[in-house]
Structure 1
Amino acid sequence: MNAIHGQQQTSIVDPGWSAKPDCLFDRDDDWAALMSFSSDPHPGTGLGVVMGRPRQGKTLLLESVARATGGFYFCGQQATEAEALRRVGEEYARYRQVARPSHWRDWKEGLDALLALGDTRPLPVIIDSFPDLVAASPALPSIIHGALRHLDRPPLENRARLLLGGETAPVMTRLFASSSPLRALAALKLDIQPLDFRKAAQLWGIDDPRLAFLVYTVVGGTPAYRHDYVGDDVPVDRDDFDGWVCRTVLNPRTPLFHEARHLLDEETGPWNRGTCHSVLAALARGCTTHGEIATFLGQQLTDASRALAVLRDHGLLRSQTDGLQPGITRHHIADPLLAFEHAVTRPRRAALEQSDAETVWADARTDFNTLVAGPRFAQVCRDWASHFADWAALGAEHCTASYGSLSDPSATAGLDAEVVVRRRDGHMRGPLLSVGLARWHTGMDIHHLQRLRHILDALDSREDLSSVRPTLYGASGFSPELHAAHARGEVLLVDLEHLYLDV
């Protein structure tokens, strides 16, 4: 979710040149917020921060803002402080169209010159890949804080809009945490998220909900994967999906084949990558709690917890309290491509080197349906319940949806509900609105409704069920008995068309 802090800003950007460029898909709210911040006419230097995981389009967004406003843009990289200062000085000289590059002694001198670009008009000064600069210059955040507090310049003359961009990693999180001095000065904070499953279908130009979901299950909502990573290859129809998988994500000649490993290495840095891969493998096999993951790894809970913390800090995990047992925290792989990698590709890399992709994919199809598509379908159902379903009829417009489980001494297995919907109630556990089962590859019949009723019976003594809506989410159809129960108002049936099209 994007968070915008500070007072409402009055934009002076000419509508003729502030229109979002065609190269940016969606991101309308992000673009509007950045343009409003960049052109805010009020006096005083401003600070904004733009975060986002790799490949989400953050850099393209910031570069587009710089072009649209005539602002200054510089992208940091891993280097010494001296080289970074030399590079930004050269970029500054090109921007000002002067022959000699600026040779700044330190970042204080460089920042003074950069912020002075806003002495005559509102102008964005964009520094992207900010954590790479901080790695070589740990004092840089303090220097920026001092400059923004106007220790060396009159407060009413300058209208530079300093925008710091970086991946959602521990450095950015720490620098802009709630207790950070920089966070207190920031008038704008944007977190560039992957596209949701509906926007991803639009990005790929897929109208068939089933095909759209299958593609989303492999690549998720990362915009960068649409073009360069697959060579503009889009499956023609459902029958072409298997071929598309073999041509792209299982093809060593495409960037997408290597992306999941590169992404993990890039995000976690020098920390124990083997342990991180094993944790993701455990999650891909259905282990969702600390204890289950530790058992899979053959490690102590503390060791597993550390690996989980590293992955969560880098945005690779989604951790959520169990919807029916608040003492349990469950973890899920956030990025579909990482889930596909650790359930399908990684266990078969040797086979991919010795055999053709079609043979490997035929062997992997069962695992794909069980370990990848099934859990991802449940997550899409939870996302739909949280963001698209009309729960206002039940008395709550803002909801949370999570996986829920109950222990049942009389059953051979626990009672699990893939979609538990509650009213969003701040930090409190909100009232229960709906309990649902989600099935991807299995048609649903009256036995699923009976199992759902069994879960509700077990909840009767501990929850208020007066407003609870039993719900079945199915991608492979519902029996006539379930359609009849739906007509009587006994259960809500949600299929792929409802998820994608609100039919």
Structure 2
Amino acid sequence: MIQKPERVFDRVREWQGLAGFVTPRRRTVVIPGATLGVVSGRRRQGKSFLLQALAEATDGMYFAATEATEAESLRLFTEALTRFTRQVVEIPFRDWNDAISYMFRAFSGRAVPLILDEFPFLCRASPALPSIIQRELGPGGSGGESVARLILCGSAMSVMGGLLSGQAPLRGRAGLELMIHPFRYRDAAEFWGVTDPRLAVLVHAIVGGTPAYRYEFTQGDVPESLDDFDSWVVRTVLNPQMPLFREARYLLAEESDIRDPALYHSVLAAIASGNATNGGIANYVGRRSDQITHPLTVLEDCALVRREPDLFRSGRARYRIVEPLITFYEAIMRRRWPELEIHRAETVWRAVRQTFQAQVVGPHFEALCRDFALDAGESVFGGQPAEIGAGVVPDPANRSQIEVDVVALAAQEPGRPRRILSLGEVKWGEVMGRHHLGRLARARELLEKKGYDTRDAVLTCYGGSGFSAELTAAADGDSRVALVGLDRLYG
């Protein structure tokens, strides 16, 4: 296995996948010819950094495309090939038909990665490029004479997602499909060097697990303590002189499928304000529900928004912004943008800090608790969850509804009721008490009547501000009650 460089933080599984694609250790059948890998992920996640490290470790070729015409891109690609192979291309490439054919033949005896980064830029100028690659990888193509490991990488999620889907030319051709995700919350805290769990939640609620924000976008500035957090927000994300200040706007502008930024910002603002259902978003934006279906689909394709189904009500769903920085921008910055641009960050932050706690940190903490539940497994719930989410339980007798923030379901077994492993309540800004446990118990009772298997369901309280003595006493010695505080969340 190719050794992962020390400068690459974490990304162990991603590196193993890339290394295994380049130099597979075990093969029952030898597959001749070049192979294709596709690496994708949202911007700033370290894809290029990872692939450059792979190219260096394997003596492979790395070419980063730019926004350019086809002629210029071919010229830059030719120069990169010449530098790498040390062989002059005697006849200039007329188009990508010549370039891809030459590339594969140039690596007929070298099983090394050939990385084409920012591949969507090339496709934009040359839409036929995926078809050309497909042909050369197919029977009779130049890829049959090569052992190259071609890796296509890009951040335009709508483009990269379409490369291998449906009737796309490259569908079925890839031997590697690798998605580079942001660091998960524990890894993000380690990456930022934040050891205080409460501070870790606050920082993650703004910058999430995006690696680039740690150094390139904040110049390595990390809050030293909880007391320094407010000052850190003012001097980084709310500072017009820092790259992080306009980043959320750029994330939306960089997506080619978004042609009406005003509408998309309004949709995101609706979600950030707590209007997470299709009807709620439509009312906030001032459009009919059917008029926001397309924007929501585009935002999902761009991996900026996620549709999360209600686990107890079929056909119901809520939308959640995936990138925390966009939530922070829409809920906090966008409304006060003129003031922030003239360096009034301290005044603005004092005015919106409560909004930050309620609309940003609270919902974000819920998402972190669902991540915790996904990993908790048998140690907490007595079984491995197959599905994690949230759900609403109707309570007709009390003419109300019970929102369950964290639901852990076991795998569905044919002919048997769906087993609930855990029902969870999440509170960030208040001490949790016995009444929170009572709500969960009522939800468990109602779900049992609806036909769910709740015999072993663990009632879990996730508290960002701790638990009352009464609740702590109730949980002691009861295997069907669990308390998850910040220390346990990050433990």
SS in 1 for 2:407: strand
Matches within 5 A, 1:184-203: 184-203=172-191
State how far apart, in whole Å, the 2-side matches of 1:370 and 1:431 are. Answer: 32
State how far apart, in whole Å, the 2-side matches of 1:146 and 1:354 are. Answer: 55
Q: Is 2:195 the partner of 1:207?
A: yes
Aligned pair partner of 1:277 in 246, 265, 272: 265
Deviations 1:363-395 (Å, cap 9, x if unpaired)? 111101100000000000001101x21336755
Deviations 1:215-255 (Å, cap 9, x if unpaired)? 10110000000001001100101111111001101111100
Matches within 5 A, 1:422-433: 422-425=409-412, 431-433=419-421
Q: Is the 8 A contact 2:207 2:325 kept in 1?
A: yes
Which range moves more in the overlay, 207-216 or 392-401? 392-401
Matches within 5 A, 1:172-251: 172-177=160-165, 180-251=168-239
Which range moves more in the overlay, 339-348 or 21-30? 21-30
Q: Is the 8 A contact 2:34 2:143 kept in 1?
A: no
SS in 1 for 2:449: coil
Matches within 5 A, 1:118-197: 118-153=107-142, 155=144, 157-167=145-155, 169-177=157-165, 180-197=168-185
Count residues in correspondence. 483
TM-score w.r.t. structure 1 length? 0.91
How many percent identity over aligned positions? 42
SS in 2 for 1:414: strand
State how far apart, in whole Å, the 2-side matches of 1:34 and 1:334 are. Answer: 25
SS in 1 for 2:170: helix
Which range moves more in the overlay, 57-66 or 246-255? 57-66
Q: Return the letter of the residue paired with 1:120.
A: G
Matches within 5 A, 1:324-335: 324-335=312-323
State how far apart, in whole Å, the 2-side matches of 1:324 and 1:112 are. Answer: 54
Q: Return the letter of the residue paired with 1:76.
A: A
Which range moves more in the overlay, 282-291 or 28-37? 28-37
Q: Is the 8 A contact 2:380 2:482 kept in 1?
A: no
Q: Return the letter of the residue paired with 2:401.
A: G
Matches within 5 A, 1:401-412: 401-409=388-396, 411=398
Q: Is the 8 A contact 1:178 1:184 kept in 2?
A: no
SS in 1 for 2:254: helix
Aligned pair partner of 2:353 in 352, 361, 365: 365
State how far apart, in whole Å, the 2-side matches of 1:320 and 1:427 are. Answer: 24
Q: Return the letter of the residue paired with 2:185.
A: F
SS in 2 for 1:215: helix
The change in CA–CA distance for 1:404 and 1:154 in structure 2 (over 3 A counts) is closer
State how far apart, in whole Å, the 2-side matches of 1:410 and 1:168 are. Answer: 49
Which range moves more in the overlay, 346-355 or 277-286? 346-355
Superposed CA RMSD in Å reads 2.2
Q: Is the 8 A contact 2:240 2:343 kept in 1?
A: no
Q: Is the 8 A contact 1:385 1:399 kept in 2?
A: no
Q: Which residue does 1:22 correspond to in 2?
A: 6
Which range moves more in the overlay, 389-398 or 415-424? 389-398
State how far apart, in whole Å, the 2-side matches of 1:248 and 1:39 are. Answer: 42
State how far apart, in whole Å, the 1-side matches of 2:215 and 2:48 are. Answer: 16
Q: Return the letter of the residue paired with 2:388.
A: A
SS in 2 for 1:458: helix
Q: Return the letter of the residue paired with 2:279.
A: G
Q: Is the 8 A contact 2:55 2:62 kept in 1?
A: yes
Q: CA deviation at 1:267?
A: 2.3
State how far apart, in whole Å, the 1-side matches of 2:262 and 2:204 are. Answer: 27
Q: Is the 8 A contact 1:268 1:314 kept in 2?
A: no
Q: Which residue does 1:488 correspond to in 2?
A: 477
Q: What stretches of structure 2 of length at least 5 have no aligned partner? A: none
SS in 1 for 2:390: strand
Q: Is the 8 A contact 1:206 1:212 kept in 2?
A: yes
Deviations 1:153-176 (Å, cap 9, x if unpaired)? 484x42111111112522211111
Q: CA deviation at 1:102?
A: 5.8
